[in-house]
Amino acid sequence: MDTVTTNSKHPKGLWVLFGTEMWERFNFYGMRALLTLFMVNSLLIKEADAAIIYGGFLALCYLTPLLGGFIADKYIGNRNAILAGGSLMALGQLLLFFSASTFSSDLASAKGLMWLALFIIIFGNGFFKPNISSMVGSLYPKQEKSKLDSAFTIFYMGINIGAFICNIIAAFMRNKYGWGPAFMTAGAGMFLGLIVFTIGRQH
Q: What are phi and psi of 46, to 5 degrees?
A: -60, 145
Specify whether the CB–CB gap between 72 and 131 falls below 8 A.
Answer: yes
**pLDDT of res. 144:** 67
Alpha helices by DSSP H, listed for 72-178, are 77-102, 107-138, 148-177
Specify whether the CB–CB gap between 166 and 106 falls below 8 A.
Answer: no
Length of the chain counted residue by residue: 203
Pairwise CA distance, residues 159 & 133, whole Å: 11
| CA trace torsion 50, 43, 112, 163 (10° rounding) | -60
The predicted-structure confidence for 25-34, as pLDDT tens digits, reads as follows 999 999 998 9
Specify whether the CB–CB gap between 78 and 134 falls below 8 A.
Answer: yes
**Crossing angle of helices 179-200/77-102, nearest 10°?**
160
| CA trace torsion 148, 193, 65, 155 (10° rounding) | 20
Neighbours of 156 (CB within 10 A): 15
Question: Which run of H or of E encompasses 31?
Answer: helix 12-41
35 closest CA partner among 190, 166, 129 = 166
Specify whether the CB–CB gap between 166 and 25 falls below 8 A.
Answer: yes
The predicted-structure confidence for 170-191, as pLDDT tens digits, reads as follows 889 999 999 999 999 999 999 9
| DSSP codes of every residue in 133-159 | HHHHHHTS-GGGGGGHHHHHHHHHHHH
pTM score above 0.95? no
Amino acid identity at 3? T
The predicted-structure confidence for 29-61, as pLDDT tens digits, reads as follows 999 989 999 999 999 999 999 999 999 999 999
Pairwise CA distance, residues 32 & 47, whole Å: 15
Spell out, as residue ranges, where the chain has pLDDT lower than 50: 1-6
